[in-house]
Amino acid sequence: MPSSNATQRALLLRQLVERGGSPMTIKPSPPAAPPRFEITLGNRHGESSIRITNHGNICQSFAGMPTELAVLLRATQDPAWSVQEGLRDFLKHHGQHHALFFENADGRFPLEWAPDALYTTKTELDILGSHVSIAACCLRFGEVQPNTYACLGFAADLDAKKLGPLEHEGGWAVYDLLYENSQREQVIEPEDALSRPLALPTTSHQRDGWLSSERPTGMARPTFSIPVERFISLQLDIPLHEQGRILRSVLLKCAGREVSLTDHRHSGKAPTYQYRLTFIPEAIPVDASVLDLRTGVLRAECWLGESQGRPSVPIFRMFPFLERAKPVSSGLKAKKRRALLYDTFFQMIGHHKPSEARKLVKACIAQEEFRPFKLKAEAEQILQRFTTPALEPSVRLVVHEGHWCVVVNDWAKEALLYAIPYMLWGPSLFEGMVEHDEMSLPLTTLYPLLPELHAKLQEVGIELFYQDQPITTSQWDCSIDARRASSIDWFELRPELLCDGVRIEAKDIEKILERGGMMEADGTIRIVDQNTQAILRAFAFLSNKPSMEQREHKAVVRVPKLQILDWVALRKRGVTVILPPADEALINRLLHFEQIEPIPLPQALDATVRPYQQEGYRWLGFLYQHRLGACLADDMGLGKTLQAICLFAGIKEGIITSPEPIQGPHLVVLPPSLLFNWEHEISRFYPTLTVQSYTGKERTSSFAGADVVLTTYGLIRRDIAILEQIPFNVILFDEAQAVKNIVARTTGAARRLKGYFKCVMTGTPLENHVGEYYALMDLCVPGLLGDYEEVKGKMKAPSPALLETIMQRSRPFVLRRTKAQILKELPPKIETDLYLELTDRQKSLYQQTVTKIRSTIAAAYRSQTPAQARIIALTAILKLRQICLSPQLLSPSHTDLSPKLECLLDRLKELLDEGHSALVFSQFTSFLDIVEQAFDAHGIPHVRLDGSTPTPTRKKLVQQFQEGSKPSVFLLSLKAGGQGLNLTKASYVFHLDPWWNPAVENQASDRAHRIGQKQKVSIMRLLMRHTIEEKMMELKQQKLELYHAVLEGATPQGGGASLSQKDFDFLLG
C-alpha cells in the first residue's frame, strides 16, 4: 500500500500541470523489478542471528513483504517474540519458498531446507596431550557432521548444503557447564552466582524427553581447550542414577580417536582420590619479627594420581560464604551460631537420606540461638543450599593417566579434611577464609596441635604434608643418668636423646620446638608427637642450665635434689632415668604412698585414730625422717590436729627419729581463735606433752621444758627478731592460709623461723590464685617450685604446662583427703540456694547505685593500674552487696525488714520449734548487729562471735553453744568463725551473703559438717535475684576450677581467679 507522503506528492504534481505553472513534463517511471527475498542465518560475534534481504538490501519494514516474511521479521525485531519459534514456524510452512543461506567468517553458503534431515547434539571431549579440547558437535545418524553449525535450533550442514531441524540441544549441557565454569576467576566471591554446583541438571529443563541446556539458544558454541588439571578442578559431577543418560550425551576421544569410558568401579582397580592436608607457613611479613605475627595455612587437597584437585566447591564453599558473604546477616555470623551451623553441617555430610538431613536441620534451628524467625529461616536455607549436593551419591568424570574414567565422590572423607582441624581449633579455623580449601591460623596456634592433627588424620587414612613433603613419625630414645653423692643436695644429670639412632644436639632441640615439633632429616619431614615434645622441652631446659659442663663427651647438668622429681616423672613418657639405689627407694616411697613403711602409734596416745589418720601420721613421720617438709591439706573436719599431735607424740616416744639429734621444742603458729582448741586437744589426746603459750604481755622466749609452744601469726610478725634466733624441731603452721601472701610481713616472718621440719596445715591451700599455693609450698619445702622471681609473673594466669609442673613437683609433699572420699559414715550435706526478690525500694536504690559506680569503675581502669583499679572496683560494688542485705546499711532511715532477714526469722523460728540449732554467717558485722537486734525483738536464743570477740571469751561461747541443753543460734562473722571451730550441735547453716571464694564458704559450713556430726547438715544461701549476688555465684566457679586443678589434678578452663574489668562489667550487667 502506497504511503501517505507519496500520495500527497503525486497530487501536487497533477495540480502543477493543470495550472500550467511548470513547463516540465512528468515521465512515467519504469516498471519495478520483481522482489527477490533471501533469509540468511549466521554466527557472528559469538551470537546466532537472522536477517532478511531483498535484492541484497536488509529489510527493515514490512512494505511489499509477503505475510510469512513479515511475521518472521516481526519476530526478529520484537523482544516479546521468540526468534527461534518464529523461524521454526516459517520453515515448517514456507521453507521451500525462499532462498536460504548460512553465513560465518568463511563466507556465505546456500542451503536447502530439509525437514527430514534430523540432527542431534553431543559434547566432544578430546584429550590432546596436556589439554582437553571441548566442542559442541552435531550428529546425523550417529555420525559427527564436521562442517555443521547450530543456529537458532537448526543445523546448517555446509557439506550437504542442507538446513535441518536440531532434534535437541541437551547434548550440549556438558559443554555449556564446562564453558561457563572455565571462565571463572581464580578467586570467586562467596555470593558469586558461578559458585553454584557444576553438577548437571536432571529433570528441570527437558524437552521431548531430552536434557536441554540453560544456555541461551542464540549463543554460539566455539571449540575451546583447557589444561587437564583445570578440567579436573572444574569437578564435572554426575548423579549416580543419571550417569548413563548424561554420559550418552558426551563423545569421549583421545588424540582425535573415539574411545569408551574406562570404568573400573566394579573390578577393584578403580582410581580413587587420595586426601591430604598440606601445612604451608606463610612468608614472613616485612613488619613481622616474631613468631606471633606469622600465620600458616592448612590446605585441603584431593589427589588423583599426580593431579591435584580441591574439595567440592558447591559443598565446602559454605565456609567462606558464611564468614564473608555480604548477603549473610550479621546475626548469623556470631561465633556461637556459626559453630552450631558448622556442627550440623559436618553431621549432615554423608547422610544419603534427605529425611535424616531434615531432622538435623530442624534440631539445629530449634535451639535458643536461632530464636528470631529471620535467623531460623536463613540458617535453614544456608544448610540446605550447601548440603544438598552431598545428599546424593555421584561420580566425577576425570582424566586419569591419559584416559577417561569416572571416580566415586566420597563427600564424608572430604568433610574430614575440615572436620578434624575444626575439632582442634574450632570456628576460628574459618575466620577470614577466602579460598574454600585454605584454612589460616597464627603459627603459635597451629604448631602446638600439629602432632595431634597428624595422629587424628592417620587414624582415618589422610596424609599430612609440610609444603611438598610428607610428614612421618620417628623412633625416639631418651635417657638420663642421674648421680649424687650422699653428702650433697644436688644431682648431676647426663641427658641423651636419639632420633632413629642419631644423637640430637641441644641446638637442634630448640629448633624443633620452635617449629612446633617438626624436623627435617634425610629429605623427609618428621613430626614429634606431644609426648616427645614434652621430653624435648625438659631436655632443652637442662641444656640451658648455667651449671652445664662437658664430661665424657656428654652434657652434665646440676639440679637441686628435690627437682629430680621432674625428671623421674619423665619415666611415664618413656624416658629411661637411672638413679642411685638409695635415691630410687626414697623416690618410690615419695611417689607411692602405700610403699611407706608402717610406723606404730604412740603408746601413750589416748585417741581413736581412724585408718586414714594413721596413714597421715605415717606420711608425716616419713617426711620428717627425711627432712623434706609437708602440706597436710585434708578437708575441714577430718582431724588434721590429731594427726599433728600423733607426730609430736611419735617424736617424743622415739618412734619417729631424725638422722641427727634435734634440740628445741615444736612450734605451732595459729590464729588466736584456735589457741584454746589446741590446748584442749593436746590435753585430751596426749597430756604428757608439755604445752607453753607464747602469748600475752607476759610472754617469754624461755622455752625450757616445753614440748610444744603455741603462738599466733601476729606475734611471730611482731617478735620475729627474737624467735628467729631459736632453733625449733617441728614448726607447724595451722590454718596456714594466713601466710598465703608471699610478700606480706607475716609470711616473711614465718619464712625466717628456723626448724628441722616444717609443716603447713590448711583445708584451703589455694583460695584465689596459684601464687598463694606457691607461698605455702615454698614455706614448708623451700625451693621445690623454683625461684619466686622467675615464676611470679606466671602465677596470676597459669598455663596448663605450669600447672602440670606445680602438681608434679608438689604431689609427694601434699596429702589431701576429702570427706567424700574418707568419711562414708558422715551424714550427707545438702546445699540449697534460695533466691529472693528485692523490694521496690531496694530495686530503686540498687539501680541508682549501679549507675553511679559503673562510671567509677570505668574511670579507675582507665587511670589506675589493674591492681589499684581492682581495689577501687571492689570497694564500689560493696554498696551493692550491702543493699542486697538491707538498705539500712547505707541509710539508717530504711527501717523496713529486708527480705533476707524476714526469711531468716521465719525459718529459724520453725527450726528452733523442731529442736534444731543453726549457724548464721555474714561477712558484715554491721548486718550482724541488725540481725542480733531482730533476734532480741523476736526472742530467738543466740550467741555471737566476730573479730572483736576476745580469745578467752571465744572458748566460753563455743562451750555454751555446744553444751547447751536447748536449741539455739550461733551468729558468726565469716572470717572469725569460719575456721578451727567445732560446732557440730548445729545441723543447719545459713549464709546471708555470698563470698567470692567457695573454699572460704565451705570451710565455714564445715564447722558443723565434720567428725562428730550425727545429723544431716543443711546449708542454705540466701541470694537476691537479678543482682550482683546472682552474678557472683557464676564467677565463683572459676576459683573452684583452679582449686581442683592444683589439688586434684583437674584441668581448669580458665586462667587465674583474680577479677578483671570484664568480670566487673559482668557483675553490673
Q: What angle do CA 487, 733, 612 make, to 5 degrees?
A: 85
* Sequence letter at residue 554: K
* Sequence letter at residue 383: L
Give me the torsion for CA of 771, 773, 775, 777, rounded to 10°: -140
Instruction: Report pLDDT for 1069.
Output: 59
Radius of gyration of the chain (CA): 45
CATH 3.40.50.10810 in the chain, residues? 602-822
CATH 3.40.50.300 in the chain, residues? 829-839+891-1068
Q: What is the pLDDT of residues 307-322, one digit of tens each?
A: 888 999 889 999 999 8
Residues 512, 536: Cα–Cα separation, whole Å: 9
Residues 927, 881: Cα–Cα separation, whole Å: 11
Sequence-distant (≥ 6) Cβ neighbours of residue 674 within 8 angstroms: 734, 735, 979, 980
Q: Which residue has the cell 584454612?
A: 439
Instruction: Report pLDDT for 1028.
Output: 84
CATH class assigned to 602-822: alpha beta
Q: Using CA of residue 262, residue 264, residue 267, residue 270, what is the dihedral sign?
A: positive
Write out the DSSP string of 514-557.
Answer: HTTSEEEETTEEEE--HHHHHHHHHHHHHHT-TT-EEETTEEEE
Question: Is there a contact between 376 and 370 (Cβ–Cβ < 8 Å)?
Answer: yes
Q: Using CA of residue 941, residue 947, residue 951, residue 952, what is the dihedral sign?
A: negative
Instruction: Report pLDDT for 482.
Output: 67
The whole-model pTM stands at: 0.54
In DSSP terms, which residues pair with 207 in a beta bridge? Answer: 210
In DSSP terms, which residues pair with 648 in a beta bridge? Answer: none
Instruction: Report pLDDT for 294.
Output: 77
Quote the DSSP letter at residue 166: B
Cell of 229: 588439571
Question: Is there a contact between 525 and 555 (Cβ–Cβ < 8 Å)?
Answer: no
Q: What is the pLDDT of residues 453-506, one digit of tens each?
A: 988 999 999 999 988 888 877 767 777 666 665 555 556 666 667 776 677 766
Q: Which residue has the cell 584416559?
A: 403
Instruction: Provide the CA 648 distance to its chain's centre, in angstroms.
Output: 51
Instruction: Report pLDDT for 126.
Output: 95
Instruction: Report pLDDT for 42.
Output: 87
Cell of 331: 546475626
Q: Please, where are the H alpha helices in 388-523?
A: 411-425, 443-459, 506-514
Quote the DSSP letter at residue 333: G
Instruction: Report pLDDT for 1049.
Output: 47
Using alpha carbons, select from 612, 978, 993, 1010 the residue that is nearest to residue 829: 1010
Burial tier of 448 (Cβ tally within 10 Å: 0-12, 13-18, 19+): middle
Q: How many residues can be counted in the chain?
A: 1069
Point out the residues of the chain with pLDDT beneath 50.
Answer: 1-6, 8-10, 12-27, 186-218, 267, 285-292, 545-554, 1048-1057
Phi, psi of 144 (to 5 degrees): -70, 130
Q: Please, where are the H alpha helices in 544-631?
A: 564-568, 581-591, 611-625
Q: What is the pLDDT of residues 781-800, one digit of tens each?
A: 887 777 777 666 666 666 77
Phi, psi of 627 (to 5 degrees): 50, 55
What CATH number does domain 829-839+891-1068 carry, 2.40.50.100, 3.40.190.80, 3.40.50.300, 3.40.190.10? Answer: 3.40.50.300
Buried b (16+ CB within 10 A) or exposed e, 963-1000: eeeebbbbbbbbbbbbbbbbbbbbbbbbbbbbbbbbbb
